[in-house]
Amino acid sequence: MKIEAITLREIHMPLVHFFETSFGRTSGRRILLLTAHCDGGDGWAECVAGEDPYYCSEWTESAWLTITRYLAPAVLGRSLESARDCGALFSRVRGHRMAKAALENALWDAEAKQKNVPLWKLLGGSRTEIACGVSIGIQDSVEQLLNKIETELAAGYRRIKVKVKPGWDVNVLEKIRARWADITLSCDANSAYTLDQVEHLRSFDQFHLLMIEQPLWDDDIFYHARLQKELRTAICLDESIVSARTAAIALETGACRIINIKVGRVGGFTEAKKIHDICHAQKIPVWCGGMLESGIGRAHNIALSTLENFSLPGDVSASKRYWKEDIIDPEVQVSPQGMIVISEQPGTGYCVKEDLIEKLTVRKETLRASAV
Ligand code: OSB
Ligand code: MG
């Protein structure tokens, strides 16, 4: 697979409904899309970095610069046996995992098309359909949140996750449980608490949640291990797990009992698969997280979710929850049973709507191997 050129572009897409977490509210996305032009055809991927460095240190501009100055030049003009091999070419660049994932995953997409196989099979997946949950942000009122939960349950989603932060947690969970005593429910704090709040976090146990996601600091596995000992509720780590190594440490220290895998956060499919395998060997269930992706990133999340140990419903939901019109065809659809059926087509099974993408593009740059 020879990498002849790379196109990076930024598109703007307004969200159907704002999304609010403990670190802020998003109303529209600035999304980076990367196209790897290879001799066997184009591969596409999305960089999931946010507009601001709040979820993690990467953001749109850092990803753009890291890709154009360091990552693209490391692979341009090269012939790779497989996408898996590009990790070694990036090893000099510390961090910037979302930027790395965009390029590596575009090569996985190109490789699947070149080999004429579905991406999910190339990744080693086996599921023919995947279970879906939803992540519901902080709303303007509890009433509004309850209405949203009602809509998502009616649509068939199999797990409801709500965002929490001090002041929007126990009071909210109480109202949810009063109305739905038995639904599969979890919460995500995006690091909104500290270890001083153990007693408060312990009070979440009464809601028999499936998990509490990332209660403490992103860079602290040790304190999560301490906290997990104090809680009956399983801790799920998101931000803290940035590599197979951090996943191994989290499991060895008992910092969590569930892991959320986001392919962007960990630097690409190769690392995501490693984390999946480590968890599988230790009987720790994983699920696929989301980053408010367009259809291109969403299609990659779907492919990853077919791996065997993705045994809990992911934050992989239908296109229409996010976008008036998605940039892939068909759009991602979720059945009334809360499932996405996996395509047998080569590549992701979703076509990229290049004309629409062109219209949404606000910035574009094509990089080519420098002539010798
Ligand atoms: O913590 O899982 C998170 C969105 C942006 C940043 C972080 C997170 C999220 C979500 C949304 O929870 C998941 C989705 O619906 O894509
Ligand atoms: Mg999370």
How confident is residue 319, by pLDDT bands cut at 50, 70 and 90? very high
Residue 318 has a pLDDT of 98
Region 10-19 average pLDDT: 98
In a domain, 46, yes or no: yes
* Dihedral sign for Cα atoms in the order 24, 25, 30, 32: positive
Region 14-21 average pLDDT: 97
Return the H-helix or E-strand segment holding 131.
strand 129-131
pLDDT digits (tens, 9 = 90+) for 237-251: 999 999 999 999 999
* Residues 65 and 159 reside in one and the same domain: no
* Residues 196 and 232 reside in one and the same domain: yes
Which residue has the least CA distance to atom 12 on ligand 1? 135
Return the H-helix or E-strand segment holding 246.
helix 244-253
Residue 89 has a pLDDT of 96
* Residues 42 and 141 reside in one and the same domain: no
DSSP per-residue string spanning 154-174: HTT-S-EEEE-BTTBSHHHHH
* Residues 199 and 132 reside in one and the same domain: yes
Please identify, by atom number, the ligand 1 atom nearest to the C-alpha of residue 134: 15
Pocket of ligand 1 from Cβ distances under 6 Å: 55, 135, 188, 190, 238, 289-292, 315
Interstrand relation of 41-47 and 24-38 (parallel, antiparallel or unpaired): antiparallel
Range of the domain at 76: 3-116+352-371
Tokens of residue 175, six digits: 């109202």
Domain count, the chain: 2
How confident is residue 371, by pLDDT bands cut at 50, 70 and 90? low
In a domain, 346, yes or no: no
Q: What CA–CA distance (Å, rounded) separates 118 from 120?
A: 5
Concerning whether 262 is annotated as a catalytic residue, the answer is yes
* Residues 102 and 158 reside in one and the same domain: no
* Residues 102 and 9 reside in one and the same domain: yes
- Give the distance (Å) from ligand 2 centre to CA of residue 153: 20
Please determine, for residue 372, whether its predicted confidence score (pLDDT) is greater than 60: no
* Residues 158 and 305 reside in one and the same domain: yes
Which residue has the least CA distance to atom 4 on ligand 1? 291
Q: Are 281 and 263 in contact (CB under 8 A)?
A: no
Please determine, for residue 369, whether its predicted confidence score (pLDDT) is greater than 90: no
pLDDT digits (tens, 9 = 90+) for 86-119: 999 999 999 999 999 999 999 999 999 999 999 9
